[in-house]
Every structure is written in structure tokens, then in C-alpha cells.
Amino acid sequence: MNTTRTPTRHLSRRGALVLAGLLPLMAAGCGQSGDSGSEQDGGTRSVDTERGPVTVPAAPSRVISLSGALTGYLYTLDVPVIASDARVLGAKPDAAGFPPTWSANATEQGTIALPAGDLSVEAVAAQKPDLIIGGGQGFTAAQAKQNFDALSQIAPTVLVPSTTVAWQDQLALIADITGRQDRVAGLMQAFTDRFNEVKASIRPPSGPVAVIASYSDPKPYFITPTAVLPRLLRELGFDIDDDSLRKAGNPPLFGTGDSYTVSPEIVGNIADTPNAIVVVIGGRNAAQLAKDPVYAQLPAFRDNKVWDLPALSFRPDYAGIMQTVDVGGAGFPVTSPH
């Protein structure tokens, strides 16, 4: 899919706030409100982080990413990536050993995949990076935090806060860290243009929509109404079921609060909507779930009003959000997909 285009015609208040908030985000370092330290002195700059100011190269040329979920932003911003963790939630590595979302970029740049499993500080040091970026969400973020002091002895290390989850915020922060702030406005305009194009071309289904997460774990999972994907779908005109958490009994939320699991017995209470979207994060797709009695009973599955989205839609980076919108541009969901 083309990842150089992007979307948003009539944004709601939330969507307008995203764009209105972009400029201050570009001026803020690592999720903090202070000055990003854009002054250059001897080829370095200072960026504010949760751990205090960090002096980074003004134009880094040997960047290591400790989070596969953040690496795509570096390629989008044309930052040289010498090595990266190659794991992305729900994405199977291709023959090159990288997630399909940025495998071509990694191959073109000659990026090396860091060893899977526990973070190897020695492997990071061997690549002689001039900047290390980590953090974000998931276990790789925890590993980076645990090894922060050792990593900082190798090269300037900046961790994206776990509270910075929206792709717009992550894009702006990583652009600031790498000195690529000038790229962000054009990327956001591309997104806005594509979003507007798609919103004008699709006809969302009538009635509320439940958003189901399908992991390899067979337990039922749902995506919270305030997570990144439901917010995008709402901007596209979908009637996302905002009452799902209440119907689920306000269960504990995972990670940064974007998903939760429930017992199979109450799935029918939560997903009582006429429509459903299944985000396939290493689990079964809609057609496969339809054979499961837990899901077969749901109105959306009975009436064949269920649509699949790929894993990259769940916690998308810039390329992921563009591809998610492109799925809409391909016609989803104008009619029943089955």
C-alpha cells in the first residue's frame, strides 16, 4: 500500500485537537512541556526527557531502536537505523526477519536485527550507535528502562514515555529527538489529505460498532473506546460503542489502557451491537471467530456484519495509520465482507 499519502475531511473536536496540538508537540521534547533545546552547539542538541535533559547528535547517523513499534517512525523520517529490535505486536517476521511494515526499509538501509529475548547491551554496544531510542509500550520498553544506565554509557539514550501512545504524539517526539521536526508538517498534511479523501468515499455501517481484539490467546479481548483505533474510526464516521466498558463491568485494563479481557459468558452483553470490527493481532480472523459459539451468537456475526483489520491498526505508527486508512479507501466497510 502507498504510505506516502494520508486523510481527514471534517474532523470532530478530537480530530481538530490532534492537528491543533501538533505544533506545541513539535516544540516539546519527549512528552514534556519544556523547550526541546533546538539550539545546536558543536553538532549536538539537548532534548528534555522524563529523566532530564539529554544531549543528542544534531543529525544522528547511527541510530539504534530498542522498540520495533517505534522503528517505523525513524524510517518515515529518513533517519539512518543501524540496528533495531525486530518485534512488532501481532506481526510475523518475513523472510528477511523483519516485520512486513518496515522490512523493505530495513533491507534498503542494511539495518541489523537485534537478538530476540532479553535486551543485549553488548549487542547494542557492538554497533557503535550515536543515538539509542527506546521506550513506548510493551516489554521492550521495560527492558530499556531496566538497562538505561548501561545504555547511556554507550550513547545518548532517549526513552519515549509510556504515556505517549497516540501516533501523532510519537511521530512529533521522535522527530524532535532526531532533529527531523521539519518533516512532520508535510507528513501530517499527507495524512489529512488521505483521511479526507477516504472519509468522503466510504459509507460506515448503520448502528454501533464493537471493536474486538483477536490475540493468539483464545480468551475474549476488546479494545477500549478511547484507544487509537476506535478514535480514528469515530473520526471516519463509525458509531463506536462507547458503553462497552460499562457493560463489561469496568474490568482492569492492560498496558496503557487500550484493551481488556472478559469471561466468555459476558461477551454477548458487551458485543450486542449490530456491527463489529475484529483486529487480528496474531489470532483468529472474523470468519474463524464466527465458528466459535462464543462469537457466533453475536448479532454482528449472525447478520454477517463483521470486518477484519490487520494488527498494525491496533497501535499504529505513521505507516500503520496510513495503511489503516487505505483499507478504508479500498472500500471497507460499504457492504458485508463475506
pLDDT per residue, tens digit, the chain (338 aa), is 333 333 333 333 333 333 333 333 333 334 333 343 344 444 999 999 999 999 999 999 999 999 999 999 999 999 999 999 999 988 888 999 999 989 999 999 999 999 988 999 999 999 999 999 999 988 899 999 999 999 999 999 999 999 999 999 999 999 999 999 999 999 999 999 999 999 998 888 999 999 999 999 989 999 999 999 999 999 999 999 999 999 999 999 987 789 999 999 999 999 999 999 999 999 999 999 999 999 999 999 999 999 999 999 999 999 999 999 988 666 555 433 34
Could you tell me if residue 65 is inside a domain?
yes
Buried b (16+ CB within 10 A) or exposed e, 129-148: bbbbbbbbbbebbebbeebb
Could you tell me if residue 221 is inside a domain?
yes
Q: Which helix (H) or strand (E) holds 279?
A: strand 275-281
Q: What is the pLDDT of residue 42?
A: 47
**Please, where are the H alpha helices in 202-338?**
228-235, 244-247, 267-270, 286-289, 293-296, 299-302, 318-329
Same domain, 110 and 250: no
Give residue 142's Cα distance to chain centre: 17
Same domain, 31 and 113: yes
Q: How many helices (H) and strands (E) does the chain have?
A: 16, 13
**Please, where are the H alpha helices in 31-76?**
68-76
Could you tell me if residue 3 is inside a domain?
no
Rg (CA), the chain: 20
Q: Which helix (H) or strand (E) holds 189?
A: helix 184-201
Could you tell me if residue 40 is inside a domain?
yes
Could you tell me if residue 194 is inside a domain?
no
Same domain, 28 and 173: yes
Same domain, 60 and 116: yes
Q: What is the pLDDT of residue 332?
A: 56
Could you tell me if residue 234 is inside a domain?
yes
| Residue 239: all three cell numbers together | 458509531
Same domain, 210 and 77: no
Rounded to whole angstroms, the Cα distance separating 156 from 218 reads 41
Structurally, the chain folds into a number of domains equal to 2
Question: 184-201 and 318-329 are packed helices; what angle lies between their axes, rounded to 10 degrees?
Answer: 20
Q: Greatest CA span in the chain, whole angstroms?
A: 65
Buried b (16+ CB within 10 A) or exposed e, 300-312: bbeeebbbbbbbb
Rounded to whole angstroms, the Cα distance separating 338 from 304 reads 7
Q: What is the pLDDT of residue 17?
A: 34
- Please report, as a single letter, which amino acid is at residue 171: L
Same domain, 93 and 143: yes
Looking at the DSSP assignment, which residues form a beta bridge with residue 160? 135
Q: At 289, which CATH number?
A: 3.40.50.1980
Q: What is the pLDDT of residue 211?
A: 97
Same domain, 96 and 210: no
Residue ending a domain, among 189, 223, 241, is 189
Task: Map residue 209 onto helix, strand or coil.
Answer: strand
Q: Which helix (H) or strand (E) holds 328?
A: helix 318-329
Same domain, 67 and 177: yes
Q: What is the pLDDT of residue 331?
A: 52
Q: What is the pLDDT of residue 89?
A: 87
Could you tell me if residue 240 is inside a domain?
yes
Residue 70 in contact with residue 136, Cβ under 8 Å? yes
Rounded to whole angstroms, the Cα distance separating 309 from 298 reads 19
Which positions ≥6 away from 117 have C-beta within 8 Å?
none
Could you tell me if residue 71 is inside a domain?
yes
Residue ending a domain, among 134, 161, 189, is 189
Residue ending a domain, among 189, 214, 230, is 189
Looking at the DSSP assignment, which residues form a beta bridge with residue 63? 81, 131
Q: What is the pLDDT of residue 5?
A: 32
Q: What is the pLDDT of residue 329?
A: 60
**Is the pTM of the predicted complex or chain greater than 0.75?**
yes
Same domain, 146 and 224: no
- Could you tell me the residue range of the domain that residue 68 belongs to? 13-189
Same domain, 234 and 159: no
Same domain, 180 and 297: no
| Residue 250: all three cell numbers together | 469496568
Same domain, 220 and 143: no
